[in-house]
Amino acid sequence: MTNEFTTAQLLERVTESRIADGDARVRRIAARIIGDLFRAIDELDVQPDEFWAGVDWLTRLGASGQGGLITAGLGFDRLLDIRADEADRRAGREGGTPRAIEGPLYVAGAPLAKYETRVDEGDTPHAEVLVMEGRVLDTEGRPVSGAIVDVWHANEHGRYSHFDPEQAEYALRRRIQTDAQGRYRFRSFIPPGYAIPPGSPTAELFEALGRHGHRPAHIHFLVAASGQRLLTTQINIPGDTFLDDDFAFATRDGLVVSLEPGTPVSGYESLGVTRPFTRVRFDFVLQPALTEDESKPLARMARVAS
Ligand code: MBD
Ligand code: FE
C-alpha cells in the first residue's frame, strides 16, 4: 500500500474504499458521477480557481434554495418526463393528458374547495379575468368525481406565493374537488410568464451561458383521484413570446389551450364575474393507476421524503 496515487488510483480509492456496505445503488451512481467529474477536470484542464469558483457557486445555489430551479433550467426535469413518457410507451400506457414538469414552486396543503372557487385573491386590475373549467375523466371518458385538482400559478409580477414574501400564504394556490359529474371550475387571471430572480446564483450561471431565464405564461396542476395515476401537468397560454423557447423546456404542444375571450357572464355569477371574461375549457384525462403508490397525491419532494 502506498499513499501516493495516480488519478486512476485516487478515483478507485474514493469510490471503492469503505468500512460498511452502504447503499449499493448510491455507491454505483456516486462512483459514476465522481468518475465523470474527474475525467471532465482532466480533459478540460479545469484550473483550481475554476474548480473553487464552481464550489462557491454550488454553495450559494444551495443556500438560495434554487436547486430545483437550476435542474429545470438545465433540462433535467424535462429529461425525467421524456424518460417517463418512453417508459410508458414501452409499457403500452398511452392516452391521457400529457405530463409536464412540476417545477420547484409547488406548496402542499392549499385551501380546498368543492367544484368551484376563486384562485385569485381579489381583483388584479391589469390582468385579464380567466375562468378555467372542465372535467376530470378517466381514459374511458368516464367522469371522475371527487378528484382533487391542485392548481398554482404566478402573480401579476410573475412570482409565486410562499417563495415571495410579499404574498399571503397560499395566494394563487387552491385545491378543487370535482363534483359528481367530474367537473371543476375556477376564476383567476391570466398570469404573466416567469423570469429567474436577477442576481441569483441561477441567473449568474445563465448569464455566463448566454441563456435567458424566461418561462412562458403557464398554470400548474397536480390532479389526483383514487385508482387513477397522479397527473402532474401545466397549461400554457397561447401567444407568449417564450412559448417555444421556455428556459425550463417544460411546455408541450398538447397543453397550449385555446382562449375564449368575451365569454358572457351568464352562468358564472357565482364566481363574481360582472363583465365578459376569458374562458378556457380543459378536461384532465387520468390514466388508471397500476399501484396504489401511483395514485398518491404527493408532489415530488413529498414522495422522496415519505
Ligand atoms: C416556474 O414557474 C416553473 O414553473 C419552473 C418549472 C421553473 C421556474 C419557475
Ligand atoms: Fe411555474
> What is the predicted pLDDT for the residue at 255?
98
Residue nearest to atom 2 of ligand 1 (CA): 194
> What is the predicted pLDDT for the residue at 121?
87
Distance 257 CA to ligand 1 centre (A): 18
Q: What is the mean pLDDT of residues 226-251?
A: 97
Taking residue 281's Cβ as centre, other Cβ atoms within 10 Å add up to 14
Distance 229 CA to ligand 2 centre (A): 22
* 230 Cβ contact partners less than 8 Å away, ≥ 6 residues apart: 222, 223, 224, 289, 294, 295, 296, 297, 298
Distance 173 CA to ligand 1 centre (A): 15
Distance 55 CA to ligand 2 centre (A): 28
Ligand nearest to the CA of residue 249, numbered in listed order: 1
Closest approach atom of ligand 1 to CA 234: 4
In tens, the pLDDT along 194-210 reads 999 999 999 999 999 99
- Sort strands 277-281 and 112-114 into parallel, antiparallel or unpaired: unpaired
In tens, the pLDDT along 166-180 reads 999 999 999 999 999
- Distance, in Å, from the CA atom of 110 to the CA atom of 118, rounded to the nearest integer, reads 13
pLDDT for 283 beyond 70:
yes
Distance 101 CA to ligand 1 centre (A): 9
Taking residue 65's Cβ as centre, other Cβ atoms within 10 Å add up to 12
Beta carbons of 216 and 237 less than 8 angstroms apart: yes
* 273 Cβ contact partners less than 8 Å away, ≥ 6 residues apart: 129, 131, 187, 265
DSSP string across 48-95: HHHHHHHHHHHHHHHHTT-HHHHHHHTTHHHHHHHHHHHHHHHTT---
Mutating to test ligand 1, I would choose from 69, 79, 172, 232 the residue with most ligand atoms within 8 A of its C-beta, which is 69
- Distance, in Å, from the CA atom of 121 to the CA atom of 99, rounded to the nearest integer, reads 28
Categorise residue 58: left if φ over 0, alpha if ψ from -120 to 50, beta otherwise.
Answer: alpha
pLDDT for 1 beyond 80:
no
Distance 170 CA to ligand 2 centre (A): 15
- Distance, in Å, from the CA atom of 229 to the CA atom of 240, rounded to the nearest integer, reads 30
Beta carbons of 247 and 213 less than 8 angstroms apart: yes
In tens, the pLDDT along 100-136 reads 999 999 999 999 999 999 999 898 989 999 999 999 9
Mutating to test ligand 1, I would choose from 66, 105, 159 the residue with most ligand atoms within 8 A of its C-beta, which is 105
The residue among 123 and 182 whose pLDDT is bigger is 182
Distance 153 CA to ligand 2 centre (A): 6
Mutating to test ligand 1, I would choose from 66, 159, 194, 235 the residue with most ligand atoms within 8 A of its C-beta, which is 194
In tens, the pLDDT along 129-146 reads 999 999 999 999 999 999
> What is the predicted pLDDT for the residue at 2?
81
Closest approach atom of ligand 1 to CA 77: 6
Residue type, 175: R
H/E segment holding residue 305: helix 300-305
- Sort strands 277-281 and 173-177 into parallel, antiparallel or unpaired: unpaired
> For a pLDDT cut of 70, what percent of the chain falls above it?
100
Distance 281 CA to ligand 1 centre (A): 23
Residue nearest to atom 8 of ligand 1 (CA): 69
Pocket of ligand 1 from Cβ distances under 6 Å:
69, 72, 101, 103-105, 194, 215, 248, 250
* 195 Cβ contact partners less than 8 Å away, ≥ 6 residues apart: 158, 213, 214, 215
> What is the predicted pLDDT for the residue at 186?
98
Beta carbons of 306 and 298 less than 8 angstroms apart: yes
Ligand nearest to the CA of residue 202, numbered in listed order: 1
Ligand 2 is an ion; residues with CB less than 5 A from it: 103
Residue nearest to atom 5 of ligand 1 (CA): 103
In tens, the pLDDT along 87-99 reads 999 999 999 999 9
pLDDT for 49 beyond 80:
yes
Beta carbons of 136 and 225 less than 8 angstroms apart: yes
Residue nearest to atom 4 of ligand 1 (CA): 103
> What is the predicted pLDDT for the residue at 252?
95
H/E segment holding residue 278: strand 277-281
Sign of CA dihedral 81, 83, 86, 87: negative
In tens, the pLDDT along 59-77 reads 999 999 999 999 999 999 9
> What is the predicted pLDDT for the residue at 132?
98
